[in-house]
Structure 1
Amino acid sequence: MDNRYKAARLISTLSLFYAGVILLGLLTGLLIELLLVASIALLVWHYLNLNRLRHYLWQSRRFAPPEGSGSWRPVFDGIYKLQMRNQQRRSQLGELVRRFREGAEALPDAVMLIGQHHVILWSNTQAHELLGLRWPEDRGQRIDNLVRSPEFGHFIRARNDKEPLILTSPIDTQRQLEMRLMPYGDHQRLLVIRDITLLVRLENMRRDFVANVSHELRTPLTVVKGYLEMLSDPSQMDPAMWQQVHRMLVSQTDRMDSLVSQLTELSSLESARQSKGSQRIDVSQLLAIVEQEVDAVYRDKQLQVTFDVTPGIDMFGEPRQMRSAFSNLIFNAVKYTPAGRHIEVVWKKVAAGALFSVKDDGDGIEPEHLLRLTERFYRVDKARSRDTGGSGLGLSIVKHALGNHQSELKIRSTVGKGSCFSFEIPAHLLDSRRISEQANES
């Protein structure tokens, strides 16, 4: 501590003041009068300094206190020192609060600070997006008045810090939210909200996948098991019946083999990396092979299938994956287009690269089905798909194959008019030299 502010120094200063007054009083013979005047003057001086302190504390907006003298100097200097220390602490606290808010804003989850009576003390931007809060208008509002849900009201009042609540977003019914409460400070709680829409969707897809695989395998296995029980005594079966049983067993075995093969292919596509154009693919030759296969398999269906293929537009990629994409789209159109209708297959050069499309004038697809067509095992008409031998995996295979070639399947359909499935191969995956040679020849 500064020597100027020690109590002994202050007492000695006061003693010297009164010693001088007493000495002067003895010399003049007015000791009592001078002591009275000196004491009154000292009181007035202290009152003036006290008034300066009151004015600084309650009225002045200055940061630094006024200059002091005598015994009041350590008082004003001490206040200034405390002010500086508090300013430093406020700066440190402000920096901590700023860093906390920046960290909370960087979180992918919504975070809200809930005080007593469930009022909102603070929230980050994610909370505004997930719950539709308006900030700072909703500050101090009760959270259960803004999120109108009986489940949420019970959750916020129950003070259950262990079990989360799964709730549909109040502003978007397509979003699923997971909410957790945890203690935070005195009489406060932290509400953490996470968007689990994707997790819920994946869990539903996993559940549907298991159910669909089980169902798809159970049907042919039941048929095979039934016929095997009939074969327990082959002598009791006439040749005609045996031929029918044999055809059915082969058909159901082929169905299971096709399903397993498609699942294996889909799994390999999902785990495959994006194609870097490792092999050149002669698309016109590949489509010519698919055209022959269509003609051989569906000749009796009396469809008008036309292939408008521009020769010389070759691409780089994985031949097996692209063959699967081309053939699945074409065979899907042939399977589900009624007899006597028309299907047009196009492969041509466009500004962005090359366009492949399969267009039919069939029955069309309702709009609510379009976004889910590429999901595993999803069928618009399940009975019709099974009659045509479809497993619901074809478009999912196409989606992943195109994704590995930096492309995307586009679907347009109008009920009663038909559908169009198309995709574009980017220009950098095309064989530009072959295209230039073809253009020069033409």
Structure 2
Amino acid sequence: MEKPFIWLLNLVALCALFAIVGAIGLHFSEFWLSIGILALLIVVWQFYQLFQLNLWIWHSKKMSPLTTFGPFGQLYQGIHQNQLKNRNKRKQLSHIISSYKAGSEALPDAVVVIDNDYKIVWCNRLARIELGLSWPDKQTLNIVEALKQPDFLNFLVAKRFESPLEMPSPANAHKILEFRGAPFVDNNMMLLIRDVTRLSQIEKMRKDFVANVSHELRTPLTVINGYLEMLPDAADLPPLLVNKAIGEMRTQSIRMQNLIEELLQLSRIEASNDRTFDKLVNVPKLLWQIQTEAQALNRDKHHKLFFDIAPKLYVYGIESELRSAFSNLIFNAIHYTPDKGVVEVKWHLSQNCARFSVKDNGDGIAQADIARITERFYRVDKARSRKTGGSGLGLSIVKHVLTHHNSSLKINSAVGIGSDFSCEFSAELTQIASKPL
């Protein structure tokens, strides 16, 4: 056995030392004096070694042990070996904790762990986004006070977790969240939160789609049918009238095609269950592409286009949806601003949030219309919308895209002065890149 052998060896060495010193003392007739001096030196040496050991354990930043001999040398080595073992165990535990956190962040649901006082012990990033939580900045954050929903408090108190709770998201009133609970370690409770907005929207979407298509397609179909009834007698009609009829039918068919494409796009956005917060979108690159398209669209309007784009400001989101929202706002400003106007597009950081804005000096929008302008097929000026080919779905698409990204469209407008459309993305979704993607 290692330890008995080491201590036996040390005892033999100590006895041998006393025997040698005693023999020398006998030779000079000072046996007890020599033994006493040796004992005193051993005591002093022991206290010195204890002092060094105390300094090494409590004050030294070095992990390597001091070099010495005897029992203290073996003691240093034993402590050092235990330190190495503990460090390896800490590394293993740290790796396990990191893997646990990474796995929790990869979950498709928001996860919150709370204690008996409803204080947040831990939550993943998706929970901070969906619930608007400021944890861990506020270490003692109480989830009941943060959500401020009586139904949620009753759900926690009752602890009847077999039936989930559905309620609007505190961070986004347009989202419906489903809360499920389960007991967790140390008398804690785990909450699983899932976005179920899509399920409640499917039936509404179907009804809206049928109603909108039947309403909006009726006019172009009536026009086309009217001309088709007239064309069998085209032999008696002037060629100019026939050409006009064919041109009008083509215009109406293109309008129907654009309308259907935008309705399908809107339906896809509403029904999308893509994880909005997984992928980082290179927004500057996206806006530079839209800028090229806007310049081509602006050839006949002769506006002054200004693009101020922060080159390293990215957001987490769905690129195709963001492209649709940004392009709709920019193209609308070009379409509805009188010729030789000014359109300013800005993408910048504002109080740790990414902010996008489109400003024009067009006709502006009356305050009574601003509240309804994002509704499907709502048009401020129906005659002008038809002239520009507008379907009345553009801002509705923008609204749903921003809702999907926990944002909202802000509109500041005055008749005769112009309009400013803007939106912000939360700090959790904002990322300043060190280098381009």
TM-score by length of 1: 0.50
- 8 Å Cα contact 1:177-1:196 kept in structure 2: yes
- Out of 210, 227, 233, which is 1:292 matched to? 227
- Bigger CA radius of gyration: 1
Describe how 1:143-222 pairs up with structure 2 within 5 A: 143-202=143-202
- 8 Å Cα contact 1:164-1:180 kept in structure 2: yes
The 3-state SS of whatever aligns with 1:75 is helix
Describe how 1:31-110 pairs up with structure 2 within 5 A: 31-110=31-110
- Residue of structure 1 in register with 2:359 after alignment: none
Deviations 1:376-429 (A, max 9, x none): xxxxxxxxxxxxxxxxxxxxxxxxxxxxxxxxxxx5623775864657xxxxxx
C-alpha distance 29-327 of structure 1, shift in aligned 2 (>3 A): closer
1:114 CA displacement: 1.9
- Residue of structure 1 in register with 2:326 after alignment: none
CA-atom RMSD, angstroms? 4.3
C-alpha distance 76-200 of structure 1, shift in aligned 2 (>3 A): same
- 8 Å Cα contact 2:135-2:141 kept in structure 1: no
- Residue of structure 2 in register with 1:139 after alignment: 139
CA distance in 1, matches of 2:225, 2:14: 113
C-alpha distance 186-149 of structure 1, shift in aligned 2 (>3 A): same
Deviates more, 1:151-160 or 1:77-86: 151-160
Q: Which amino acid counterpart does residue 78 of structure 1 have in structure 2?
A: G
Q: Indicate the percent of aligned positions where both proteins have the same amino acid.
A: 26
CA distance in 2, matches of 1:324, 1:140: 57
Query: Structure 1: any 5+ residue segments left out of the alignment?
Result: 217-261, 263-285, 297-305, 315-321, 330-350, 353-365, 374-410, 424-442
1:203 CA displacement: 5.2
The 3-state SS of whatever aligns with 2:171 is coil
CA distance in 1, matches of 2:96, 2:164: 29
Deviations 1:239-274 (A, max 9, x none): xxxxxxxxxxxxxxxxxxxxxxx9xxxxxxxxxxxx
- 8 Å Cα contact 1:181-1:191 kept in structure 2: yes
C-alpha distance 57-327 of structure 1, shift in aligned 2 (>3 A): closer
C-alpha distance 102-40 of structure 1, shift in aligned 2 (>3 A): same
CA distance in 2, matches of 1:327, 1:119: 51
CA distance in 2, matches of 1:328, 1:370: 17
- 8 Å Cα contact 1:119-1:141 kept in structure 2: yes
Q: Which amino acid counterpart does residue 142 of structure 1 have in structure 2?
A: N
CA distance in 1, matches of 2:138, 2:244: 62
- Residue of structure 1 in register with 2:354 after alignment: none
- Residue of structure 1 in register with 2:341 after alignment: none
Deviates more, 1:151-160 or 1:121-130: 151-160
1:16 CA displacement: 1.9
1:325 CA displacement: 4.8
- Residue of structure 2 in register with 1:413 after alignment: 379
CA distance in 2, matches of 1:125, 1:307: 59
CA distance in 2, matches of 1:50, 1:162: 61
C-alpha distance 26-160 of structure 1, shift in aligned 2 (>3 A): farther
TM-score by length of 2: 0.50
**How many residue pairs end up in the alignment?**
264
Deviations 1:284-313 (A, max 9, x none): xx99964434769xxxxxxxxx967559x9
